[in-house]
Structure 1
Amino acid sequence: MADKPQHGPPHGMEKYDLGGADDLGALSVAQQADLNQFKIKTRISNESYLRDHPEVECLIAGFLGDVLTKRPESIREFAAEYFTNPSLPDILEKQLAGRQEKLKQNHVIQGLS
């Protein structure tokens, strides 16, 4: 049984469902190549969106940090309370300001090197 298709999967993608020795599974080589290109384009698009919206990273990091610190019994209830908290926009603004300050400091430090 082959480990990978001959056309090479995109970096970081999960292994393919391969059939027999010469069988690539459910998709033809052309279909698999098209799927690989779709995955690459989707990943690039997602990464671009996240770079343009740093608040997403702050929301997720803040939520996960609170979950791991507080370890609530009900994640669903905790998430509902967390994301409907009226002060969340203010908290997010502070996190974004702190993130921007760290980025400025990093640029200054890199300029000194």
Structure 2
Amino acid sequence: MTEQPKHAPPHGMEKYDLGGKDDLGALSLAQQADLNQFKMKTRIGNEKYLRDHPEVECLVAGFLGDVLTKRPDSVREFAAEYFTNPSLPETLEKQLAGRQEKLKQNRVIQSLT
């Protein structure tokens, strides 16, 4: 029988592919450990990037909000129009300013409690 890994996969990631009796599956234990390390490094890198670029959150939130509000028949066409709209940079700046204001308000409220 194959040996089960002694380390857990990263949280939220797919389970190991260990196959059945005497079948290690698609990856060896060392390959699976390397893959898990790669996944964790990638996830950490993505999180750092998103923290450093709050405009990405505003873009995605604004787009999803409009899609759910307007419910277009063709999301692909709607996305093309949304992301090529000449006023998008202005809208994004307003959203970022609103986000910053909310963060300031939250800090003030937290300092009072």
TM-score by length of 2: 0.91
Counterpart of 2:19, as a letter, is: G
Offset of residue 7 of structure 1:
2.0
- RMSD after superposition: 1.7
In structure 2, the partner of 1:110 is: 110
CA contact (8 A) 2:17 2:27 kept: no
What is aligned with 1:27?
Answer: 27
Determine if contact 1:7/1:29 at 8 Å carries over to the other structure: no
Measure the CA separation in 1 of the matches of 2:44 and 2:95.
25
Alignment partners' CA distance in 1, 2:50 and 2:18: 33
User: 1:14-62 CA distances to partner (integer Å, 9 max, x unpaired)?
Assistant: 2233301464411111110000000000000000000000000000000
Whole-angstrom CA distance in 2 between matches of 1:9 and 1:101: 39
Superposed counterparts of 1:44-63, under 5 Å: 44-63=44-63
1:88 aligns with 2:88: yes
Shift of the 55–20 alpha-carbon distance from structure 1 to 2, 3 Å rule, reads same
Does 1:7 find its partner at 2:7? Answer: yes
1: CA distance, partners of 2:34 / 2:85: 43
Distance in 2 (alpha carbons) for counterparts of 1:24 and 1:106: 51
- Report the AA paired with residue 93 of structure 1: E
The runs of 5 or more residues in structure 1 that have no matched partner are none
- Indicate the larger mover: 90-99 or 103-112: 103-112
Please give the alpha-carbon distance, in whole angstroms, between the structure 1 residues aligned to 2:35 and 2:10: 10
Amino acid of the structure 2 residue aligned with 1:51: R
Structure 2 stretches lacking a partner, 5+ long: none
